[in-house]
Amino acid sequence: MRKSLLALAAGLLLAGNVSAASAADKLKVGFIYLGPIGDLGWTYQHDLARQALVKELGEKIETTYLENVPEGPDAERSIEQLVRAGNKLIFTTSFGYMDPTQKVAKKYPNVHFEHATGYKRNPNMSTYSAKWYQGRYIQGLIAAKMSKSGVLGYIGSFPIPEVVSGINATMLAAQTINPNIKVKIIWANTWFDPGKEADAAKALIDQGADVIMQHTDSPAAMQIASERGKLAFGQDSEMIKFGPKTQLTSILDTWGPYYIERVKAELAGTWKSEDTWGGLDSHMFAMAPYTNMPDDVKKMAEDAQAAITAGKLHPFKCPIVGQDGKPVECKGGDHLDDGQILGMNFYVKGIDDKLPGK
Amino acid sequence: MELVEAIILAVLAASTPLLIAATGELVAERSGVLNLGVEGMMIVGAACGFAGAWLTGSILVGALFGIIAGTLMSLVFALMALGLAVNQVATGLALTILGIGLSGLIGAGFVGERITPAVHLYIPVLTDIPLIGRVLFGEDGFIYFSVALIVGVWWFLYRTRAGLILRACGDNHVSAHALGYPVLRIRTFAVMFGGACAGLAGAYLPLAYTPFFIPGMTAGRGWIALALVVFSSWRPGRLVVGAYLFGAVTILQLHAQGWGVGIPSQFMSALPYLATVIVLVLLSRARTGGSTAPAALGTVFVSDR
């Protein structure tokens, strides 16, 4: 007994030494997560991407992640902790980590940083995000086709450009199918509160909406829509489990290919600071299978996806008329330019609601 | 008409977890113990409640798991704050942090799973009465239980000798001790009751409200329950008013947004807090005035034997 225990201990010691030796040669890659990896949404998708990264380059790298890191000053400490632990490439995966990431980046010029959804960059700090509004456009087409009441329900988190551009893209698409389509918008003023998201979904359905779309993180709205026999779109991740007969599709954050590409660049020594804003063509996100809809609607959705991917269809193609009835200036030729979309703070014509703070 | 009924149903569902958790905390505070760990006890109750229901397929077992989990959490608090006389505020905050971490660990294996939520009562004819039928005769068991619970607590505090003794511990533990009452034991029971209620309130979320578990799903409801206790000036009747008012304004502001009232949504989101604070403060000023907090609330008691 004792002998075997000793052997085991020796074995463990040996194993420990081996992994320490090889770890020294491996590139250390760190991740900062906003939520728990089990949130089934935003953070969950980032961790799936990290797992894909490990699967692809596992022999050359070692990954570490810190979850539940609050945005703000606390984040700075967590990022620095990853630097001190020897991570050479660090992904900070939420908008609120922007300033903390930049502070740490300035302090450690030899470490490379990747910040999601922000706009501040450094020679050693890149930014990356996805053109989710493209997916919202496809959802708008489907929603208008599938809605019997002609009223869509939209649960927003905060009235920031990313969310507003999503609402506009949805409505612009829906109006091409049904010019009189209506949307009811409820702001939850939170990214994550399953109870409140469920209450918002209930309110929208009780007021006549029959297709629910959300820009909040939990599957609560999907679950309520399923309970009430309505239709809904998922958010961030696959939510069909919460509404097998309800989910039409879902915008899936697929960061994997980007993470792999950036780590490969780091390994090759060719990493440089960049601003990546990828759409369907660059696989920054994907659409979940089109389900619970007739074949012609499915075909329409697939065609739209193909056209957007090929660059033939732009969700914000001009002319675009604002809520005030005036046409919006077209800075990108035949469509709005990236700056206008990234800073969008107006509703398009056809939305009866008032944008908060306007 | 149907919309009014739907709104009332949503209000009751949104208010119930707050009411249950706040009822438990009210009893604990009436005995003189300030347990700020309600949020932590709730979220552990949510994780264990879901686990219980998922493993056995029974909502009732889930609710029991939630109650037991909340009680165990409160015992940790009792051991520290009552047994070792550690500062109650610090212990309560630590309990919340512990609870959030622990619930993530317990619930990790259950994320993404679904259960069938608690069934709603159905009595032929009665439940079909328009407007009030479903409100009175078509709720889930938790909602009926929460009403019975607060009535029971009111009766206990003001109509029984044991309730009087519990309040005495909260108002002056030295006198209660001098009269020969086991202050620490009474407080421990009060804290355990608070834990059981918080655990049940937490379990209500994944068992009836949104039938899945996600880390952090209580989203601050424990803190709202704590605030409700203070603003109700430690009275069960006002607690009911506060909890339902908070739920009502929460739901109504969502509907108002859907109708497109045109008031900024940020203000609307703050409205439940504002309305509840204003109404409860006015209510306590009109009736009694001055502070009505248990005099020994939050103070450490060490028995001199």
Q: Taking the C-alpha atoms of A245, A247, A249 and A252 in order, what is their torsion angle to the nearest 10 degrees?
A: -130
Q: Please tell me the distance from the alpha carbon of residue B124 to that of residue A224, in angstroms, as a whole number.
A: 25
- In this prediction, residue B231 carries a pLDDT of 86
- Element housing A205 (H / E): helix A194-206
Whether B301 has a pLDDT exceeding 50, the answer reads yes
Average the pLDDT over B159-167 and give the result.
96
Q: Do A204 and B258 touch (CB under 8 A)?
A: yes
**Non-local CB neighbours of B221 within 8 Å, separated by 6+ positions:** A195, B17, B18, B21, B39, B42, B201, B205
User: Is the Cβ–Cβ distance between A129 and A177 less than 8 Å?
Assistant: no
Closest-CA distance, A2 to chain B, in angstroms, reads: 34
Mark A300-309 as b/e (b = at least 16 C-beta within 10 Å): bbeebbeebe
Segment B285-303 shows an average pLDDT of: 78
Using pLDDT thresholds of 50, 70 and 90, give the confidence band for residue B289. Answer: low
Residue B133, exposed/middle/buried by CB under 10 A (0-12, 13-18, 19+)? middle
- C-beta pairs of A109-117 under 8 Å, 24+ apart in sequence: A111/A83, A111/A87, A112/A88, A112/A266, A112/A271, A113/A79, A113/A89, A114/A89, A114/A90, A114/A262, A115/A91, A116/A46, A116/A91, A116/A92, A116/A255, A117/A162
Q: Is A109 on the interface with B (CB under 8 A)?
A: no
User: Residue B285: what pLDDT?
Assistant: 74
Pair B251, B10: CB distance under 8 Å: yes
Geometric angle at alpha carbon B72, from B70 and B76, rounded to 5°: 115
The residue of chain B with its CA nearest to that of A184 is: B258
Contacts of B286 (CB under 8 A, 6+ apart): none
pLDDT, residue B138, reads: 86
Q: Are strands A247-253 and A285-287 parallel, antiparallel or unpaired?
A: antiparallel
Nearest C-alpha in A relative to B202? A195
Q: In Å, how far is A172's CA from the nearest CA of chain B?
A: 20
Q: Return the pLDDT at A358.
A: 67
- What's the complex ipTM? 0.89
B289 contacts chain A (CB < 8 A): no
Residue A266 CA to residue A29 CA, distance in Å, equals 10
> How far apart, in whole angstroms, are the C-alpha atoms of residue A282 and residue A272?
18
| Pairwise CB contact (< 8 Å): B210 & A220 | yes
Does A203 sit within 8 Å of B10, measured CB to CB?
Answer: yes
A29 three-state secondary structure: strand
Q: What percent of chain B has pLDDT over 70?
A: 97
* The Cα angle at residue B176 between residues B173 and B182, in degrees rounded to 5: 95
**pLDDT computed for residue A14 by the predictor:** 39
Whether A356 and chain B come into contact, CB under 8 Å, resolves to yes
The pLDDT value given to residue B283: 79
B273 in contact with chain A, both atoms CB, cutoff 8 A: no
Tokens 């991917």 map to which residue?
A309
The residue to which tokens 């009111």 are assigned: B154
Q: In DSSP terms, which residues pair with A32 in a beta bridge?
A: A66, A92
Tens of pLDDT, residues B180-227: 999 999 999 999 999 999 999 999 999 999 999 998 899 999 999 999
Phi, psi of A119 (to 5 degrees): -135, 5
CB contacts, 8 Å: B7 with chain A: 206
User: Is A214 in CB contact (< 8 Å) with chain B?
Assistant: no
Gap between the Cα atoms of A288 and A299, Å rounded:
14
Tokens (6 digits) for A321? 């008329």
Question: Nearest CB to A241: which of B3, B114, B205?
Answer: B114
Contact A38 B217 (CB under 8 A): no
CB contact under 8 A, B216 and A187: no
pLDDT score at B126: 87
**Chain B residue numbers touching A209 (CB-CB < 8 A):** 258
Q: Calculate mean pLDDT across residues B128-152.
A: 91
- If you average pLDDT over every residue of chain B, what do you get? 92
What 3-state class would DSSP assign to A31?
strand
Q: Please classify residue B162 by burial: count the beta carbons closer than 10 Å to its beta carbon, then call 0-12 exposed, 13-18 middle and 19+ buried.
A: exposed
Smallest Cα–Cα separation from B272: which of B257, B250, B287? B250
Measured CA to CA, the distance from residue A189 to residue B265 in angstroms comes to 8
- Pick among A42, A151, A186, A216 to test the B interface (most B CBs inside 10 A): A186
Q: How far is B190 from chain A (nearest CA, A)?
A: 28
Q: For B79-89, what is the mean pLDDT?
A: 94
Give yes or no for a contact between B172 and B46, defined as CB atoms under 8 angstroms apart.
no
List of chain B residues whose C-beta atoms are within 8 Å of the C-beta of residue A196: 219, 250
Residues of B in contact with A159 (CB under 8 A): 265
**pLDDT value, residue A274:** 93
Burial track B165-185 (b if 16+ CB lie within 10 A, e otherwise): bbbbbbbbbeebbeeebebbe
| Closest by Cα among B136, B144, B145, B152 to B236 | B152
By the 8 A CB rule, do B217 and B210 touch? yes
Beta-bridged to residue A130, according to DSSP, are A278
Whether chain A has a CB inside 8 Å of the CB on B266: the answer is: yes
Residue pair B139/B120 in contact by the 8 Å Cβ criterion? yes
Average pLDDT over residues B237-243: 93
What is the rounded distance in angstroms from the CA atom of residue A268 to the CA atom of residue A266? 5
Determine contact: A31 vs chain B, CB below 8 A: no
Query: Cβ separation of A223 and B211 shorter than 8 Å?
Result: yes
- CA–CA separation, A199 and B268 (whole Å): 14
| Per-residue confidence in pLDDT tens, chain A, 358 aa | 344 444 444 444 434 333 443 455 799 999 999 888 887 889 999 999 999 999 999 899 999 999 888 888 889 999 999 999 999 999 999 988 999 999 999 999 999 999 999 889 999 999 999 999 999 999 999 999 999 999 999 999 988 899 999 999 999 999 999 999 999 999 998 888 999 999 999 999 999 999 999 999 889 999 999 999 999 999 999 999 999 999 999 999 999 999 999 999 999 999 999 999 999 998 899 999 999 999 999 999 999 999 999 999 999 998 999 998 999 999 988 999 998 998 899 999 999 888 887 6
Query: Phi-psi bin for B109: left (phi > 0), alpha (psi -120 to 50), beta?
Result: alpha
Look at residue A293 in the predicted model and tell me its pLDDT.
Answer: 97
Which of A38, A184, A189 faces B111 most closely, judged by CB atoms?
A38
Residue type, A222: M
DSSP B80: I
Q: Do A36 and B14 touch (CB under 8 A)?
A: no
Res. B113 pLDDT band, cuts 50 70 90: confident
pLDDT for residue B290: 52
Are residues A202 and B260, on separate chains, in Cβ contact within 8 Å? no
Going by C-alpha positions, the residue among A239, A278, A4, A233 that lies closest to residue A117 is A278
Which pLDDT does position A2 carry in this prediction?
A: 43
- The answer, for A262 touching chain B at a CB cutoff of 8 Å, is no
Tell me how far CA of residue B117 lies from CA of A159, A220, A236, in angstroms. Answer: 32, 13, 25
Dihedral, CA of residue B180, residue B184, residue B190 and residue B196, to nearest 10: -140
Residue to substitute from A39, A42, A43, A196, interface B, most B β-carbons within 10 A: A196
Q: How far, in Å, CA of A274 to CA of A346, rounded? A: 29
Alpha carbon distances (Å) from B184 to B173, B174, B300: 9, 11, 10
pLDDT score, position B305: 54
CB of A234 within 8 Å of any CB in chain B?
A: no
pLDDT of res. A143: 97
Cβ-based contacts of A186 with chain B (< 8 Å): 254, 257-258, 265
**B261's tokens:** 């009232």
A130: DSSP letter: E
Q: What is the pLDDT of residue A21?
A: 39
Q: Do B104 and A220 touch (CB under 8 A)?
A: no
Decide if pLDDT at B252 tops 60. yes
pLDDT of residue B291: 59
Q: Which chain A residues have a beta carbon less than 8 Å from that of B216?
A: 35-36, 39, 192
Gap from A283 CA to chain B (nearest CA, Å): 25
